[in-house]
């Protein structure tokens, strides 16, 4: 069910963006953690090495104070799975590094050179940001972080202008790197989505395959149970399909299945789940409908399908309808009851809708 599946996963731009950000978090999470550890180590080395290069008004232990929070942020980032949490931790890491750079610049005779390591942050962090908002926040932190020491320190205006020019170049380079990286990753994300869709949909009809249908249906039923909303399942089968294949060839059978799937998609809502279960059998999960409403939908569907012409007459279907009565009834049990009702419709003469009995009163034949 290409159209319906696409409407659930790709038509809504907001949903696609959220899915893409989650994809980026999974892909970049280990790299973000590794870069945080490298940044922590680099800060420690730079702070210790600076004692041999220039004098500072602050003792070394105080200048190493950001190390502990940096390590805590890196450890927390390793366990973070939500994209927003990961972005906030990365921003906190940048803020701590900027604070450490300012600490190491206090009282330095060559204060201007002390803030120059901050020029590395925009480029070094350009590939880790998951969305536009965190990238803009990070660039603002990188640009404004060292300014207090530049403005209040004993530094001439030439150094301030030099810093601003170099920072602008670094931010522009970071923007270009992020844009090209984002384009590459988004193309990869779309390709993986397309491959997953092809693996989860039937080539002939474009409908969901059984396993993917069961996966999505389990999730849908769980949400409906939490919301205390009803759900019904239609299980339908094309009548006399083997006879059509035997007398008119498999091409005629395929054409009938394609026409049937087209009618099903036309009747389905955006919240419905539609799948080709196997052969000429299809399933349609109807969230939010009770048994009476589902039976009316099934009857309308049956009448619409009859308008499709086969080489040997109108296309007809037998439909079984089952309502989800029990709070924790599985999709497999619901599918089995609808299947049994469909087979009862076959026994009673085909081209009809039969509803399943309540599971507590149902007997296994």
**What is the set of active-site residues?**
280
Identify which of 133, 137, 122, 126 has the alpha carbon closest to the alpha carbon of residue 180. 126
3-state SS of 197-216? HHHHECCCCCCECHHHHHHH
Q: What distances in angstroms separate CA 361 from CA 45, 291, 342, 358, one per listed residue?
A: 75, 16, 18, 5
Report the distance separating Cα 303 and Cα 298, nearest Å: 9
Buried b (16+ CB within 10 A) or exposed e, 288-318: ebebeebbebbeebbeebeebebeeeebbbb
Q: Which of 161, 163, 130, 133 is nearest to 146 (CA)?
A: 163
263 neighbors 302 (Cβ within 8 angstroms) = no
The span from the CA of 100 to the CA of 132, in Å, is: 26
Alpha-carbon distance of 326 to 334, in angstroms, equals 10
Q: What are phi and psi of 275, to 5 degrees?
A: -150, 155
């Amino acid at each position: 069910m290409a159209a319906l599946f696409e409407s659930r996963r790709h038509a809504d731009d907001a949903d696609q963006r959220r899915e893409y950000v989650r994809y980026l978090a999974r892909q970049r999470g280990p790299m973000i953690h590794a870069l945080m550890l490298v940044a922590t180590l680099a800060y420690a080395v730079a702070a210790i090495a600076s004692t041999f290069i220039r004098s500072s008004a602050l003792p070394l232990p105080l200048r190493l104070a950001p190390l502990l929070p940096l390590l805590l942020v890196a450890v927390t980032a390793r366990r973070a799975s939500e994209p927003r949490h990961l972005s906030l931790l990365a921003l906190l890491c940048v803020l701590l590094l900027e604070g450490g750079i300012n600490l190491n610049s206090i009282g330095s005779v060559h204060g201007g050179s002390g803030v120059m390591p901050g020029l590395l942050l925009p480029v070094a962090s350009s590939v880790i940001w998951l969305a536009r908002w965190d990238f803009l926040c990070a660039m603002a932190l990188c640009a404004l972080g060292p300014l207090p020491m530049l403005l209040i320190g004993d530094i001439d205006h030439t150094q301030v202008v030099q810093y601003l020019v170099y920072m602008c170049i670094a931010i522009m380079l970071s923007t270009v790197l992020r844009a090209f990286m984002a384009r590459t990753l988004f193309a990869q994300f779309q390709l993986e989505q397309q491959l997953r869709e092809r693996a989860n949909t039937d080539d002939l009809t474009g409908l969901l395959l059984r396993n993917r249908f069961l996966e999505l249906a389990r999730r849908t039923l769980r949400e409906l149970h939490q919301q205390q909303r009803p759900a019904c399942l239609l299980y339908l089968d094309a009548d006399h399909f083997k006879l059509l294949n035997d007398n008119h060839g498999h091409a005629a059978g395929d054409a009938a299945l394609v026409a049937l799937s087209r009618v099903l998609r036309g009747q389905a809502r955006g919240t419905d789940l539609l799948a080709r279960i196997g052969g000429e059998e299809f399933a349609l999960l109807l969230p939010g409908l009770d048994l009476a409403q589902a039976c009316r939908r099934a009857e309308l569907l049956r009448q619409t399908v009859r308008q499709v012409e086969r080489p040997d007459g109108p296309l007809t279907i037998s439909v079984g309808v089952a309502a989800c009565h029990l709070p924790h009834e599985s999709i497999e049990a619901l599918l089995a009851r609808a299947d049994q009702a469909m087979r009862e419709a076959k026994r009673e003469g085909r081209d009809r809708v039969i509803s399943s009995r309540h599971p507590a009163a149902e007997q296994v034949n």
